[in-house]
């Protein structure tokens, strides 16, 4: 019998590009507050962060009566937003099953006045509307079940604590008695499932991850397994939460992301992204071949917050007009992103996703193919002038863009689009050098979504080949990864950036974290000023002069930027 490969399973998923994530559970009722105390951080972590005892958290189930829940309305919204798959928390870390689980009495049908199985209703609604039904399932963390990672236990002082160091045999028993029966139910009782979204593989062995993956495939051969099943044994990879790709990524990846700063509903979180930001993030993901899994957190009543609905409808309207550049597209063939926006490709087409519409001429550098034609999506009657000389393609476009946000120019080329494999500076534009585009020398790990380089000592380096168009003085900024909560992971480090014989060094890292920003941030630190002496192809290199010995994850570099000095 033919065994399905990951590539075959991924076919629909690559086409899809955009999905809906739904975080819904008992935490949605608490909405970020427990006994007058507000939770710091994401809403669905309230039991963990406020150390709520199991017996007390269990009581919340009695209040779960989402009478306004309407599966079809959720599926309809996903469809209207242009999302092709829907992933909902069948069980999150709190261990509560949002489905009718014969094996696990801690579930919505047994414990709540609601008594219905919303997963069944959603699966039917999704099937009806042509959306792939998928489940999130927390396979490692279970704060409720015996043996689960982070299981709540009472301490001698009467307070509780979440235990992550489980005896291995307890964890195995939990996998056998809780996780596998649940997976079997989810993959037997709800029709074809597009993917199982596992998360936070704490304390799981490679064998256990592989066993879960194989178990899923045995039950439903076409069901994808997310990378967070652990040890990189899933069908595709998961970037960090809200981690957006910079530069290219190899293989199949997805970015799970929020609309505000939480996944599970929090009544005080009104920090919504704008439509423009969302479209730009979607476009950026597509330009790297990365899927965008965008979250909504319905309320205890079963209602998706109105700001989320409004935002998603607007993204959907944009996709209605410009979706040909997104659905079924592949990553940009260009080495670096153009300053005006992003690029995707499909067959012999290049799609230029233009955020900063130029006055008159749009330049694209490094294309190797001959351009056959170009048109502006939404302006079929407008003629686009085409000029190709050296490494530069110039398109002449009218002064006003068809969209307020990102506008699309469709360019047909001879053959499959190909581009030069180095960074090309655009006129006097800043030079952006994400680590994903660099050449690594020495021991540098890649963590998170691989777009972050982990430097543990001073021997390694990363270099980029850059075609310089404008010599002169440049201000250098380094982008590092920071985390407000796990602040022991990162630190402050001294790096040196070399351009030819010139160099500049400075301290980068947590010192520049935005205290008002999200919990995970890309931190921008000023390194200093450097002279880039000559036009033409050059090597720009970054080395670490000093690594903060207190930082457990070393120097988490994401890239450097050189901007012409004013």
Which has the closest alpha carbon to 311: 276, 337, 336?
276
Q: Is 429 in the site for ligand H79 (CB under 6 A)?
A: no
How far apart are the C-alpha atoms of 253 and 234, rounded to whole Å?
A: 11
Rounded least distance, CB 531 to ligand H79, Å: 43
**Which residues, numbered 42-81, are part of the site for ligand H79 (CB under 6 A)?**
42, 44-45
Of residues 94, 100, 142, 199, which one binds ligand H79 by CB under 6 A? 199
Of residues 227, 237, 256, 302, which one binds ligand H79 by CB under 6 A? 256
Rounded least distance, CB 348 to ligand H79, Å: 37
Dump the DSSP string for 470-506. S-EEEEEEEEEEEESSSTTS--EEEEEEEETTEEEEE
* Half-sphere CA count of 322, side-chain side, radius 13 A: 28
Rounded least distance, CB 78 to ligand H79, Å: 17
| For ligand H79, the closer CB: 103 or 200 | 200
Residue 433: count other Cβ atoms within 10 Å of its Cβ: 26
Window of 40-48, 218-226, 270-278, 356-364 that interacts with ligand H79 by CB under 6 A: 40-48
Q: Is 556 in the site for ligand H79 (CB under 6 A)?
A: no
Please, is 475 exposed, middle or buried when counting C-beta atoms within 10 Å of its C-beta (0-12, 13-18, 19+)? middle
**Location of structure tokens 């928390």:** 89
Q: Is 378 left (phi over 0), alpha (psi -120 to 50) or beta?
A: left
- Say if CB 451 and CB 558 are below 8 A apart: yes
| For ligand H79, the closer CB: 165 or 400 | 165
| For ligand H79, the closer CB: 155 or 383 | 155
| For ligand H79, the closer CB: 266 or 432 | 266
Residue 445's contacts (CB-CB under 8 Å, 6 or more residues apart) are 453, 454, 456
Q: Buried b vs exposed e over 24-33: b needs ≥16 C-beta within 10 Å? A: bbbbbbbbbe
Number of residues located near ligand H79, criterion CB under 6 A: 10
How far apart are the C-alpha atoms of 538 and 471, rounded to whole Å?
A: 11
| For ligand H79, the closer CB: 44 or 246 | 44
**Which residues, numbered 162-181, are part of the site for ligand H79 (CB under 6 A)?**
164
Window of 37-45, 274-282, 401-409, 466-474 that interacts with ligand H79 by CB under 6 A: 37-45
Q: Is 242 in the site for ligand H79 (CB under 6 A)?
A: no
| For ligand H79, the closer CB: 241 or 246 | 241
Q: Is 324 helix (H, G, I), strand (E, B) or coil?
A: helix
| For ligand H79, the closer CB: 13 or 137 | 137
Rounded least distance, CB 488 to ligand H79, Å: 11
| For ligand H79, the closer CB: 231 or 469 | 231
Rounded least distance, CB 202 to ligand H79, Å: 4
- Say if CB 492 and CB 478 are below 8 A apart: no
How far apart are the C-alpha atoms of 108 and 98, rounded to whole Å?
A: 5
Q: Is 86 in the site for ligand H79 (CB under 6 A)?
A: no
Q: Is 386 in the site for ligand H79 (CB under 6 A)?
A: no
Q: Return the H-helix or E-strand segment holding 387.
A: strand 385-389
| For ligand H79, the closer CB: 41 or 528 | 41
Q: Is 67 helix (H, G, I), strand (E, B) or coil?
A: coil
Q: Is 438 in the site for ligand H79 (CB under 6 A)?
A: no
How far apart are the C-alpha atoms of 406 and 275, rounded to whole Å?
A: 11
Q: Is 200 in the site for ligand H79 (CB under 6 A)?
A: yes
| For ligand H79, the closer CB: 161 or 164 | 164
| For ligand H79, the closer CB: 199 or 235 | 199
Window of 67-75, 194-202, 436-444, 542-550 that interacts with ligand H79 by CB under 6 A: 194-202
Rounded least distance, CB 141 to ligand H79, Å: 7
Rounded least distance, CB 312 to ligand H79, Å: 18
Rounded least distance, CB 553 to ligand H79, Å: 12
How far lies 476's CA from each of 25, 93, 277, 472, 540, in Å? 45, 42, 25, 12, 12
Dump the DSSP string for 251-300. S-EEEEE-SSS-SS--TT---PPPHHHHHHHHHHHHHTTEEEEEEE---T
Q: Is 263 in the site for ligand H79 (CB under 6 A)?
A: yes
| For ligand H79, the closer CB: 42 or 350 | 42
Phi, psi for 353 (deg, rounded to 5) = -100, 100
Q: Is 292 in the site for ligand H79 (CB under 6 A)?
A: no
Rounded least distance, CB 489 to ligand H79, Å: 10
Rounded least distance, CB 265 to ligand H79, Å: 13
Rounded least distance, CB 152 to ligand H79, Å: 13
| For ligand H79, the closer CB: 21 or 318 | 21
Of residues 202, 429, 502, 507, which one binds ligand H79 by CB under 6 A? 202
Q: Is 539 helix (H, G, I), strand (E, B) or coil?
A: strand
How far apart are the C-alpha atoms of 551 and 554, rounded to whole Å?
A: 5
Q: What residues line the site for ligand H79 (CB under 6 A)?
A: 42, 44-45, 164, 199-200, 202, 241, 256, 263
């Amino acid at each position: 019998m033919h065994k399905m490969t990951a590539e075959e399973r991924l076919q629909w998923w690559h086409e899809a590009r955009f999905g809906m994530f739904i975080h819904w559970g008992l935490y949605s009722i608490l909405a970020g507050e427990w006994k007058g105390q507000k939770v710091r951080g994401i809403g669905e972590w309230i039991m963990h962060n406020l150390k709520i005892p199991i017996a007390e958290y269990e009581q919340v189930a009695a209040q779960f009566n989402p009478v306004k829940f309407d599966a079809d309305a959720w599926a309809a919204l996903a469809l209207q937003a242009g999302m092709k798959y829907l992933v909902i928390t069948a069980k999150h870390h709190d261990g509560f099953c949002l489905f009718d689980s014969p094996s696990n009495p801690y579930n919505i049908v047994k414990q709540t006045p609601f008594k219905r199985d919303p997963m069944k209703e959603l699966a039917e609604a999704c099937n009806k509307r042509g959306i792939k039904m998928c489940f999130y399932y927390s396979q490692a963390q279970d704060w409720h079940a015996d043996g689960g990672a982070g299981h709540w236990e009472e301490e001698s002082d009467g307070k509780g604590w979440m235990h992550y160091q489980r005896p291995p045999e307890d964890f195995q028993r939990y996998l056998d008695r809780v996780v596998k029966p649940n997976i079997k139910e989810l993959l037997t009782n709800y029709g074809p499932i597009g993917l199982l979204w596992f998360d936070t593989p704490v304390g799981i062995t490679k064998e256990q991850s592989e066993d879960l993956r194989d178990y899923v495939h045995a039950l439903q051969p076409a069901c994808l397994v997310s990378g967070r099943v652990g040890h990189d044994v899933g069908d595709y990879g998961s970037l960090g939460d809200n981690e957006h790709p910079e530069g290219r990524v190899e293989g199949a990846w997805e970015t799970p992301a929020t609309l505000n700063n939480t996944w599970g509903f929090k009544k005080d979180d009104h920090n919504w992204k704008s439509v423009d930001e969302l479209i730009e993030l979607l476009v950026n993901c597509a330009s790297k071949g990365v899927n965008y899994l965008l979250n909504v957190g319905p309320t205890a009543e079963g209602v998706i917050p109105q700001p989320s609905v409004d935002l998603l409808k607007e993204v959907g309207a944009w996709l209605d007009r410009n979706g040909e550049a997104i659905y079924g597209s592949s990553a940009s063939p260009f080495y670096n992103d153009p300053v005006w926006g992003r690029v995707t490709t499909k067959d012999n087409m290049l799609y230029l996703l233009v955020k900063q519409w130029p006055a008159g001429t749009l330049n694209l550098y490094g294309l190797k193919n001959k351009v056959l034609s170009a048109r502006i999506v939404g302006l079929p009657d407008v003629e686009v002038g085409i000029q190709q000389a050296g490494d530069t393609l110039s398109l002449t476009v009218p002064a006003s863009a068809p969209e307020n946000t990102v506008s699309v120019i469709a360019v047909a080329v001879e053959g499959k689009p190909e581009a030069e494999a180095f960074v090309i500076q655009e006129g006097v534009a800043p030079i952006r050098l994400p680590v994903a585009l660099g050449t690594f020398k020495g021991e540098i790990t890649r963590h998170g979504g691989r777009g972050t380089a982990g430097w543990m000592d001073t021997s390694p380096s990363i270099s980029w080949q850059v075609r310089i168009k404008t010599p002169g003085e440049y201000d250098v900024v380094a982008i590092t990864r920071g985390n407000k909560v796990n602040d022991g992971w990162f630190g402050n480090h001294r790096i040196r950036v070399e351009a030819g014989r010139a160099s500049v060094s400075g301290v980068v890292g947590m010192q520049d974290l935005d205290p008002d920003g999200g919990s995970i941030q890309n931190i921008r630190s000023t390194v200093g000023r450097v002279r880039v002496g000559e036009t033409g192809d050059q090597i720009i290199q970054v080395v670490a002069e000093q690594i903060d010995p207190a930082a457990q994850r070393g120097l988490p570099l994401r890239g450097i930027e050189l901007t012409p000095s004013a």
